[in-house]
Structure 1
Amino acid sequence: MVESFIVLISATALLLGSPGPAPLALAATGATFGIKKGIPFLAGILVGLSVAIVGATAGLAALFSQFPSFRVICQVIGGAYILYIAFKIASAPVIDSHKTNIAPNFKDGFILNLLNPKAYAAFLAIFSQFLLSFSDSTIGYIVTGFTCLMVAALVDTLWLMFGGLLRPIFSNPKQARIIRVVFAILMVIAVVYALV
């Protein structure tokens, strides 16, 4: 069982920690607005991820295979929203210590992961390949899902902190704009990659 947990944790960290829309948005939020202002966004992302976990275990794969157009619609809506978040990050004003910047909030994070096709694909892969074996399969799903959520919380917090480490660079307006635009472009690439 210990080996199964290690494999599950490793697979989850790789799938959810790889640069995708949510991790890149977290890093950009930490860099642009700071770690403290990014916490509500992180919380929203994790709650949205919880919905993705439940959706994956409740048979979203079966729904998508029976109604392929529903999957495409979800992907397009999700991709559009992620592009909106990328624009919000890229176009954020230069940091002014006397002004309060409006960071992405809980709702933004929740919607981002609720509509993030990468999250659903990752959990469908995890539950089909790395489901923990218990005598009661319901317990297996619950423990696997909870383990994934804890790994995601750690990985996403690290992405937010990584962005926070870049925050001092943002005192230079030119560097700040370049970094925000690079993060936004990476988010767009992640969306395109997920949709292809």
Structure 2
Amino acid sequence: MFESLMLLVGATVLLLGSPGPAPLALAASSATFGVRNSLPFLGGILAGLLAAIAGALFGVAALLKTAPQLALALQIIAALYIARIAWRIATAPVLSTAEQRQDKPSLLDGFILNLLNPKAYMAFLALFSQFLLPAEQEYLRYGLTALVCFGCAIVVDLGWLLAGGALRRVFSHPKWARTVRCLLALAMLATVLLGLLLWHS
């Protein structure tokens, strides 16, 4: 059981913790708007992951795997939505103002970001098919695996949120703030484009 748990944790951290649109969006949001103001965005991202876990368990991931055109359409919609969030981060006011706080990514933004992301469904499909925890009953195997995956996601996403928050000091200098925000936004867009290219190839 311990060996299976460690394999599952390692695979989940690698799949969900690698720099992708959602982790980079979290880091960029907390660097731009602050950790506290980005907590609703984190909540939305985690809620979207719960939807992806449920989708993997109830066959949405299998459907996306057998219908690549549908998956690609979702990927494009998600890419456009991530581009919208990247634009809001890149063009946010340099100083912390009430207007800036109002423009921060919301809980709904985070939820939609992961809900439309077919890679999240595929990641959980891979985890459930390769790293299922041993238990006597099938529902326990899937339930425990889902619980561990979600726990890893919370830790990983909090790490990205705090890493972005650590960059907040850089953002207090107007000279560097715009440059770093634009770089984070471009990194988000680059991961989206890379994902689309890999998906299409």
99 and 194 in structure 1: CA distance in 2 versus 1, 3 angstrom threshold: closer
**Given residue 18 of structure 1, which amino acid in structure 2 is its aligned partner?**
S
Deviation at 1:13, TM superposition (A): 0.8
- Between the aligned partners of 1:40 and 1:144, the Cα distance in structure 2 is 26
Moved over 6 A (4+): none
97 and 69 in structure 1: CA distance in 2 versus 1, 3 angstrom threshold: closer
**Given residue 194 of structure 1, which amino acid in structure 2 is its aligned partner?**
G
Superposed CA deviations along residues 99-158 of structure 1, whole A, max 9, x for unmatched, are 652211100110111112331221122112111122222211111111111110011011
- Between the aligned partners of 2:131 and 2:11, the Cα distance in structure 1 is 8
- Between the aligned partners of 1:184 and 1:100, the Cα distance in structure 2 is 16
Aligned residue number for residue 105 of structure 2: 104
- Between the aligned partners of 1:75 and 1:97, the Cα distance in structure 2 is 33
Superposed CA deviations along residues 53-110 of structure 1, whole A, max 9, x for unmatched, are 1111111233124433211211111111111111111111112357652211100110
Please state if 1:27 is matched with 2:27: yes
150 and 124 in structure 1: CA distance in 2 versus 1, 3 angstrom threshold: same
Q: Please, which runs of 5 or more residues in structure 1 have no aligned partner?
A: none
How many residues are paired up?
196
Q: Please, which runs of 5 or more residues in structure 2 have no aligned partner?
A: none
Aligned residue number for residue 153 of structure 1: 154
Q: What's the TM-score once normalised by structure 1's chain length? A: 0.94
Q: Secondary structure of the residue that 2:72 maps to in structure 1? A: helix
**Given residue 131 of structure 1, which amino acid in structure 2 is its aligned partner?**
L
Q: Secondary structure of the residue that 1:101 maps to in structure 2? A: helix
Identity, % of aligned pairs?
A: 51
177 and 12 in structure 1: CA distance in 2 versus 1, 3 angstrom threshold: same
Q: Work out whether residues 95 and 101 of structure 1, in 8 Å CA contact, stay in contact via their aligned partners in 2.
A: no
Moved more, 51-60 or 133-142: 133-142
- Between the aligned partners of 1:2 and 1:141, the Cα distance in structure 2 is 16
Aligned residue number for residue 163 of structure 1: 164
Q: CA RMSD in A?
A: 1.4
Aligned residue number for residue 79 of structure 2: 79
- Between the aligned partners of 1:118 and 1:62, the Cα distance in structure 2 is 12
- Between the aligned partners of 1:100 and 1:78, the Cα distance in structure 2 is 24
Q: What's the TM-score once normalised by structure 2's chain length? A: 0.92
**Given residue 73 of structure 1, which amino acid in structure 2 is its aligned partner?**
A
**1:1-196 alignment, distance < 5 Å:** 1-96=1-96, 101-102=101-102, 103-196=104-197
- Between the aligned partners of 1:179 and 1:68, the Cα distance in structure 2 is 35
